Amino acid sequence: MLLHPGNEMARVREIFGLGDDRLREIPEFAVGEGSFAFAETQPGSRDPVGYNPCKPVRYVVNPDGAPDFWEALVHDAVESTSRASGLEFDYRGETDARPSSYDGGFWAGNPPPVLVAWATPEEEPGLEGDVIGLGGSASYEVRPGLRQYATGVLTLDRDQFDVTDWVPGSREPLEAVVLHELGHLVGLGHVDDPGELMHPTNSRTTYGPGDLEGLGRLGDTPCR
């Protein structure tokens, strides 16, 4: 099994005066043991577009319509994604903002925090049919040849998250949905491999080997 050097590369950059102020260590990940894809790549390159690893990804939650256990559901999934990617997340509390308020663009110098919210297909048409969640981020040009994500939205179907009649211990499918959409949020795309969480109709409840490689590479993008 090959391992991405992760922190070794960070030390090399530091030795040559190219160090940075990453908030978390770059995670190690196995290379070539699964499938992954990026939602967006740099202009003229196969390198991914990701969030700035030297700044926290701020996020807020609108709990209107959320299940009672939304705090553990969201924060545990965020921490799992943070560990896998090396990105630091910063929870900034609850908000009244709705996904539609993020459609009007943003000022790159001061974007709003990432929004996690629950909605119905009437409010968010992308949730129509059997879609239970949507996740994605908006990028901007930091400098020529380098784009980064500034903010994003993770929207979950409030009706499909109604677990009133569920038996205890059956939350794993919903936890997997949040992880999947967080994968999209930080820059992963869908893959055809059913062994990965980023497969559109996967049966996993945790990130697979390819997911982990993709997330690790997203956390290894340049600082701003």
Residue-wise pLDDT for 182-217, tens only, equals 999 999 999 999 999 999 987 899 999 999 999 999
pLDDT at residue number 26: 83
Domains: count for the chain: 1
Q: Are 97 and 60 in contact (CB under 8 A)?
A: yes
With beta carbons less than 8 A apart as the criterion, state whether 89 and 78 touch.
Answer: yes
Query: Does 21 reside within a domain?
Result: yes
Q: Nearest-CA neighbor of 188 among 19, 74, 40, 12?
A: 40
Q: Record the pTM.
A: 0.89
Name the residue among 47, 22, 80 with its Cα closest to residue 148.
Answer: 47
What confidence tens digit (pLDDT) does each residue in 26-61 have? 888 899 999 999 999 999 999 999 999 999 999 999
Question: Pick from 136, 160, 152, 153: which is nearest to 65 by CA?
Answer: 160
| Cα(31)–Cα(217) distance, integer angstroms | 10
Q: Count the alpha carbons within 13 Å of 204 in the hemisphere toward its beta carbon.
A: 18
Judged against a pLDDT cut of 60, whether residue 224 lies above it is answered with yes
Residues, the chain, total? 224
83, HSE (Cβ side, Cα atoms, 13 Å): 8
Q: 126 in a domain, yes or no? A: yes
1 located within any domain = no
Domain residues for the domain of 162 are: 7-219
- Report the CATH number at residue 35: 3.40.390.10
Is there a domain that residue 2 lies in? no
| Residue 180 forms part of a structural domain | yes
Tell me if 16 is assigned to some domain: yes
Mean pLDDT of the region 215-221: 94
Task: Tell me the pLDDT band of 156, cut-offs 50, 70 and 90.
Answer: very high
- Please report the sign of the dihedral spanned by the C-alpha atoms of residue 103, residue 108, residue 109, residue 112: positive
* pLDDT at residue number 49: 97
184: three-class secondary structure by DSSP: helix
* ∠ Cα 8 142 221 (to 5°): 20
Does 151 fall in a domain? yes
The answer to whether position 175 is within a domain reads yes
Q: Which residues pair with 62 in a beta bridge?
A: 117
Cα–Cα distance list, 205 to 17, 106, 161 (Å): 41, 33, 16
Mean pLDDT of 123-151: 93
The span from the CA of 61 to the CA of 42, in Å, is: 29
Average pLDDT, the chain: 87
pLDDT for the residue 166: 56
